[in-house]
Amino acid sequence: MLWLSIFLIILIIVCLIGIYYVIAFNTLNDLKTKIHEAEVIIDEALRTKYDTLMRLSNHIRTHMDSNKNYFREYEKLNNTNMTNFDMDRKLNEGYTLILKMIDDLKLNDNEEINKEIEQIKGLDEKLTAAKNYYNKNTSEENAIVRKFPTNIIAKIHGFKVKLFFDGKDMDDEIIDDFKM
C-alpha cells in the first residue's frame, strides 16, 4: 500500500512537470510565431516603402534641371545585405531627402507625388505598429527564456534571447543604446 501511494505521488509529480513543460513550450512557440508574423509584415512594408520611394525619386527627377542622381545610394539598397533595422533607417533618410527636394522644387501640389507620400505615411504607421508588436513579443519571449525553469525548456529547443527591432540589447554594458 505504501508503494502504491509513493508511485501515485511520483506519477502526479511527473504529470504536473509534463503539463508545465507543454504549456511553457507552447507559450514559447506562440511567441516565436508572433515575432515571425511581425517580421513578415516589416519585410513587406519595407519592400513596399522602397518601391514607393523609387517611384517618388523618378517623379522628382523629371522635374529637376540637372542630371545629377541624388538617389543613387538609395537605388542600390535592394542589392545590399543589411538588417531590417538598417534598411528602415536608410529608407527614412531617403524619405527625408525626398521631402526636402519636393519642398525645394515646389512640387507640393503634384497629385501623383502627394499620392505616393500618403502611401508612405500609411506604410510608416504599419511599420510602427509591427515594430511595437515585434518588440513586445520579443520582450515576453526573452523574459521566458531567462527565467528558471523555462530557460531549461528554451535551451533544449534552441530558443535564445533576441535583440529588439532596433538591434539593441538592453542587458549589455553599452550605455549608448538610445543614441541616434
Closest CA to 126 of 53, 51, 41: 41
Whole-angstrom Cα distance, residue 3 to residue 22? 28
Over residues 56-87, the pLDDT tens digits come to 988 888 887 776 777 888 888 878 888 888 99
Reply yes or no on whether the pLDDT at 115 is more than 90.
yes
Each as own residue / partner, the long-range contacts of residues 116-124 (CB below 8 Å, 24 or more positions apart, any chain) are 116/52, 116/55, 116/56, 116/59, 117/56, 119/48, 119/52, 120/49, 120/52, 120/53, 120/56, 120/95, 123/45, 123/48, 123/49, 123/52, 124/49
Instruction: Give the Cβ contact number of residue 178 at 10 Å.
Output: 7
Confirm whether pTM is higher than 0.75: yes
- For residues 127 and 40, the answer to whether their CB atoms sit within 8 Å is no
* CB neighbour list of residue 38: distance below 8 Å, 6 or more residues apart: 130, 131, 133, 134, 137
Alpha carbon separation from 40 to 26, 36, 47, 84 (Å, rounded): 21, 6, 11, 11
More confident residue, 166 or 143: 143
Over residues 17-34, the pLDDT tens digits come to 999 999 999 999 999 999
Over residues 147-174, the pLDDT tens digits come to 999 999 999 999 999 999 876 554 544 4
Mean pLDDT score of the chain = 88
Residue 90 backbone zone (phi > 0: left; psi -120 to 50: alpha; other: beta): alpha
Query: 95-124 as b/e, with b when 16 or more CB fall inside 10 Å?
Result: bebbeebbeeeebeebeebeebbebbeebb
Q: How far apart are the first and last CA of the chain?
A: 70
Grid cell at residue 105: 522644387
